[in-house]
Amino acid sequence: MVMEEYEDRRLRLATMKDPYLNELEQSAEQRERDLNGKILIKHAEVPFESFRQGHLSWYMGGYNTGTALRDRFFFRHDIRNQSGKHTHQGGLVIFVMEGNGYSTVNGVAVDWKQYDVILLPMIPELCEHQHFNKEPGKPAVWCAFIYEALSHEYANDVKQNTDSPDFNKP
């Protein structure tokens, strides 16, 4: 994989008119976002959508770009019954907005309720996790904050182990 990425970059650089100019343009684009990017994201602009993990609403990251900050993901997750189960590096902060449930993190169940914070640790074996609503039919909603800038540096790997039963397959 590393050699493929190196070869891809080498080919891109070889076909660019001026690789340094490309770097300057990317820097200017980020500066423009810093100065004029979106600083308010309204609830009505980010409806819930069905994903393999469940019902998510992406405020930052995913499909929502053009914000003043980059390399950050922020999303709401409506746990109707249970999420999908997946594995990736930790480093996430999850804030429970409403509801009552539990999460399994590497096989250990952790109960949560409104206003609790769940931290997914950064550990060598990665974090397999899944989230459950203890009271299906009542809302269980949390928000996740992810700083993605270093994810490629620490060799993050995401694996979807099972889909949410709420996922509407295309």
pLDDT over 90 (residue 152): no
Is 68 domain-assigned?
yes
Per-residue pLDDT tens over the stretch 65-97: 788 888 888 999 999 999 999 999 888 999 999
Per-residue pLDDT tens over the stretch 34-43: 898 889 999 9
Domain that holds residue 47: 43-162
Examine the domain organization and report whether 83 and 115 are in the same domain.
yes
CB of 120 closer than 8 Å to CB of 135: no
At 71 the pLDDT is 82
Examine the domain organization and report whether 32 and 58 are in the same domain.
no
Is 147 domain-assigned?
yes
Q: What is the pTM of this model?
A: 0.79
Mean of the per-residue pLDDT values of the chain: 87
108 compared with 4, residue with greater pLDDT: 108
Examine the domain organization and report whether 86 and 135 are in the same domain.
yes
Examine the domain organization and report whether 94 and 50 are in the same domain.
yes
The region of weakest confidence among 53-62, 75-84, 146-155 is 146-155
Examine the domain organization and report whether 8 and 50 are in the same domain.
no
Examine the domain organization and report whether 22 and 81 are in the same domain.
no
Examine the domain organization and report whether 10 and 60 are in the same domain.
no
What DSSP string describes 70-126? -SEEEEEEE-SSB--EEEE---EEEEEEE-EEEEEETTEEEEEETT-EEEE---TT-
Examine the domain organization and report whether 132 and 61 are in the same domain.
yes
